[in-house]
Amino acid sequence: MNANRDNDALSWGGENDPTLEQGTGALPDGWTVPRGAEPATAAPTRAGKTQTPEQADAAGSVVLVVLGILAGFYLLYTVGWFIGASRIENPLTGDPVSSFMFTLGVWLSVAAPLLWFAAAFWLTSGHPRARLVWLILGVIVLAPLPFIFGASA
């Protein structure tokens, strides 16, 4: 415990423990820090390309904003499909199996944008460019046409 209780929240219990190991600081194979650059001024890069932390942060910020915009599209598409699906009446009232399948298809169309977004995020976890391509493709493919054109059955 610190002598001043106000500083207790700013310390980590056991931070002065001599048994804690420090990392080796070694970089993975193929990664280097540019000569004469301090780690605080240049990030390690692959294949000799130098990138400052500001450049890396700017690219990450742009991708984050684009992902937010695409997530907004998917949320709006889900709402659009819900409104479009609520306008459709089931024309197959005689057969219970046909009626169930029609209802299932309508609700799967409502869930499709959320499922596409989740699948694109999960399946492209290590590939940010592929993630953006799949999300943009989903925005094109999953447009709620019944809502856009005002179609009703």
Across the chain, what does the average pLDDT equal? 78
Q: Under the phi-then-psi rule, with left for phi > 0, alpha for psi from -120 to 50, and beta for the rest, what region is 113?
A: alpha
Indicate the burial class of 27 (C-beta count within 10 angstroms; 0-12, 13-18, 19 or more): exposed
- % of the chain beyond a pLDDT of 90: 31
Question: What number of other Cβ atoms are within 10 A of residue 59's Cβ?
Answer: 12
Domain spans in the chain, listed from the N-terminal domain onward: 53-149
Cα-Cα-Cα-Cα dihedral sign, residues 31, 34, 39, 40: negative
- pTM of the predicted structure, to 2 decimals: 0.58
Q: How far apart are the first and last CA of the chain?
A: 71
User: Residue 95 is encoded by which pair of tokens?
Assistant: 């057969």
Residues 3-44: tens digit of each pLDDT: 666 666 666 666 666 666 666 666 666 667 666 655 554 555
